[in-house]
């Protein structure tokens, strides 16, 4: 696991100056937060760009959106990232949303301009950057997206903007996320995207699918060891197809393990983590993370 490896001083950059009174503070608001790789990514970015700032992880468990945004203003955090459920609960208490964030109904990045909080969403664009970097031709890809939560909706919007050839999105019709999905599709107005009930996975012609994306929590946390697709479904995919997961803890979800056993190309959520972080870093600083060093460290294909 990358966070257990010995750091190579020739590949990583560390700030020469100590933290002082002028140091800006950024952070992750999540529950739990201790496992996150975000502090490593952003602190490398500050060091590489000689920015006097530090990024910390804050456990937000038990606090509502009003309390979190009040804390941002009171403590004068320069910016933050958010995980669920905070991506959605802070929305009513932000001063401004970017068009994508408003469309998705969730933010993962907040910039604090002297108490004026601007919410953005870099998840979907970060995920698509990972696809493009891996050589996926979205213009000619027929995609199955599993889930319609905040991460899935962000990915859906980014795939639509990338003019993906065909996109089928699966979510249980009884879920509130299905309603959000339908509202999003109405706003996008793209005929190549269809919303389908989870039960309709049995009707998919898997031989006509090029890319599978799991944006559910099946394979993570209490659901570790579960897979949204059965081995028999994955076996029907063409050998040129690839299977992606937003999960990176564990590094290989059960879905990816099954897909790999079928000889399919697999990718975990580390690429999304890195590229969405780079986009957030640009929002805050106008600079990039040291992507080459971090790609090597995270072993992103």
Q: pLDDT tens for residues 6-16? A: 555 456 665 55
* CA quadruple 244, 179, 160, 151: dihedral sign: negative
* pLDDT tens track, the chain, 301 positions: 444 455 554 566 655 557 899 999 999 999 988 889 999 999 999 999 999 999 999 999 879 999 999 999 999 999 999 998 899 999 999 999 999 999 999 999 999 999 999 999 999 999 999 999 999 999 999 999 999 999 999 999 999 999 999 999 999 999 999 999 999 999 999 889 999 999 999 999 999 999 999 999 999 989 999 999 999 999 999 999 999 999 999 999 999 999 999 999 999 999 999 999 999 999 999 999 999 999 999 999 7
Which residue among 24, 87, 111, 299 is the active-site one? 87
Q: What pTM, to 2 d.p., does this model score?
A: 0.93
200-232 residue pLDDT tens: 999 999 999 999 999 999 999 899 999 999 999
56: CB partners within 8 A, 6+ apart: 25, 26, 27, 28, 39
- With b for 16 or more beta-carbon neighbours within 10 A and e for fewer, the 63-102 pattern comes to bebeebbebbeeeebbbbbbbeebbbbbbebbeebbebbe
Look at residue 32 in the predicted model and tell me its pLDDT.
87
Distance CA 250, CA 139 (A): 30
- Cα separation, 221 vs 238, in Å, equals 30
Residues 110, 79: contact at Cβ < 8 Å? yes
The CATH fold of domain 124-268: Rossmann fold (3.40.50)
Q: What is the pLDDT of residue 1?
A: 45
Give the helix/strand (H/E) hosting 187.
helix 176-188
pLDDT of amino acid 62: 79
At 76, list the tokens. 């004068």
| Ramachandran category for residue 209: left, alpha or beta (phi over 0 → left; psi -120 to 50 → alpha) | beta
Intervals of CATH 3.40.50.720 along the chain? 124-268
The domain 2-121+272-298 having CATH identifier 3.40.50.9100: the answer here is no
Question: Judging by DSSP bridges, how do beta strands 79-82 and 109-113 pair with one another?
Answer: antiparallel
User: Which residues belong to CATH 3.40.50.10860 in the chain?
Assistant: 2-121+272-298
Active-site annotation holds for 87: yes
């Amino acid at each position: 696991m990358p966070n257990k490896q010995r750091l190579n001083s020739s590949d990583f950059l560390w700030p020469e100056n100590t933290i002082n009174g002028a140091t800006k503070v950024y952070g992750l608001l999540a529950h739990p937060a201790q496992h996150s790789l975000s502090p490593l990514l952003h602190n490398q970015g500050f060091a590489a760009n000689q920015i006097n700032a530090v990024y910390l992880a804050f456990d937000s468990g038990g606090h509502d959106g009003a309390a979190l945004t009040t804390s941002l203003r009171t403590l004068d955090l320069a910016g933050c990232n958010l995980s669920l459920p905070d991506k959605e609960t802070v929305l009513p208490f932000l001063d401004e949303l970017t068009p994508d964030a408003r469309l998705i109904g969730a933010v993962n990045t907040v910039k604090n301009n002297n108490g004026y909080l601007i919410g953005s969403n870099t998840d979907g664009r970060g995920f698509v950057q990972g696809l493009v970097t891996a050589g996926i031709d979205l213009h000619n890809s027929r995609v199955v997206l599993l889930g319609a939560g905040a991460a899935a909706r962000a990915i859906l919007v980014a795939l639509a903007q990338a003019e993906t050839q065909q996109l089928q999105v699966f979510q249980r019709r009884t879920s509130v996320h299905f309603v959000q999905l339908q509202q999003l599709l109405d706003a996008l107005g793209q005929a190549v995207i269809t919303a389908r009930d989870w039960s309709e996975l049995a009707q998919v012609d898997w031989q006509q699918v090029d890319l599978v994306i799991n944006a559910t929590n099946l394979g993570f946390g209490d659901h570790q060891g579960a897979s949204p697709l059965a081995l028999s479904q994955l076996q029907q995919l063409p050998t040129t197809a690839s299977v992606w997961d937003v999960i990176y803890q564990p590094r290989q979800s059960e879905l990816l393990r099954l897909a790999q056993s079928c000889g399919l190309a697999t990718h975990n959520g580390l690429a999304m983590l890195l590229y969405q972080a780079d986009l957030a870093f640009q929002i805050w600083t106008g600079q990039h993370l040291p992507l080459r060093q971090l790609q090597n460290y995270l072993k992103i294909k």
